[in-house]
Amino acid sequence: MSSPYPAGELLAELCLNKFDTLPKTGKPTNKEWTILAGVVQYDENRKESKVVALGAGTKCIGRSKLCSGGLILNDSHAEVLARRALLRYFYAELRKAIENKLSIFQWNAEKLFFTLKRELSFHFISTQTPCGDACIEDESCDEESIETPNKKPKLVCDELVQKDFGKTLLNDSEVVYTGAKLIGEHSDLLQQFVGVVRTKPGRGDRTLSMSCSDKLSRWNVLGVQGALLDTLLDKPIYFETLTFCCSRSNEKSIRRAI
């Protein structure tokens, strides 16, 4: 059965093209690399797609460097930054709706909530498998044994990207296999346990930020809108598809983790 949404290759290309149009400040040089994540909004009625959020980065602040005043961003992984940018987009669109301007949201006077227009959907793209459980392959787990929720986003996991900008994209040989530390009492915090929650990063000072695998899993259950927006909307907003630049061998691990 064909998907009603654009192919993962097209969504990835849109994000890469948008990244190319941004100023050079903060981008990796020819000797550097980073991870890029983005969110594409698709209008089913108009058959139009547009990038509404982008994030790039691999940094995360350790516990010892946290700011009690909230002036330092704790988690700067690309996936998390893209989602934060998406929330800013949602807030801006809600303001437009309040001011009776054209917006992705509509006020429902009967339910006293804002509703997302039915024809719109959101699609997540990342140039690497998210850190944490999604990076760990379990050879004993076959596809028939993976439990998945009744409503799950379409997962596209393949070598999607044809372009290269300063080694921003990683080859399969460069994939990080954990990128996070186990929670709990373990002799080795980097052990390859399956189905266990983790914090970032894999090396250095432990952080209080959950791995991207765990965060994507949470968004897949509770929605991406967060607690504040949840009080204003009639229902959660989910990513309808997830697209990752990775090998096919990672697909089972991603499905299990997310």
pLDDT in tens, 104-147: 999 998 889 999 999 999 999 999 999 988 888 765 544 443 34
Position 80, amino acid: V
pLDDT digits (tens, 9 = 90+) for 213-223: 999 999 999 99
**Element spanning 1, H or E:** none
3-state secondary structure of 129: coil
Cite the active site residues. Answer: 79
> CA of 144: how far to CAs of 140, 147, 195, 255, 256, in Å?
11, 8, 17, 12, 11
Percent of the chain clearing pLDDT 70 (strictly above):
78
Q: Cα 35 from chain centroid?
A: 11
State the pLDDT at residue 138: 65
Cα-Cα-Cα-Cα dihedral of 52, 77, 31, 175, to 10°? Answer: -110
Cα separations (Å) of 79 from 34, 42, 84, 131, 146?
12, 19, 9, 10, 24
CA distance 4 to 42: 10
pLDDT value of position 186: 67
Residue with structure tokens 């997830």? Answer: 242
The closest alpha carbon to 257, from 238, 242, 235, belongs to 242
CA-to-CA separations, 10 to 29, 33, 142, in angstroms, rounded:
25, 22, 29
**Tens-level pLDDT at each residue, the chain (258 residues):** 567 888 889 999 999 999 999 998 888 888 888 999 999 999 999 999 999 999 999 988 888 888 888 888 889 999 999 999 999 999 999 999 999 999 999 999 888 999 999 999 999 999 999 998 888 876 554 444 334 444 455 555 444 433 332 322 333 433 344 567 778 776 676 666 788 888 887 566 788 899 999 999 999 999 999 999 999 999 999 999 999 987 665 788 888 888
Cα–Cα distances in angstroms (integers) from residue 59 to residues 84, 200, 201, 202, 211, in the given order: 15, 9, 8, 11, 12
CA dihedral 209, 258, 126, 79 (to 10 degrees): -20
Say which residues have a Cβ less than 8 Å from residue 15's Cβ, sequence separation at least 6.
36, 38, 40, 51, 54, 125
The confidence score (pLDDT) of residue 249 equals: 59
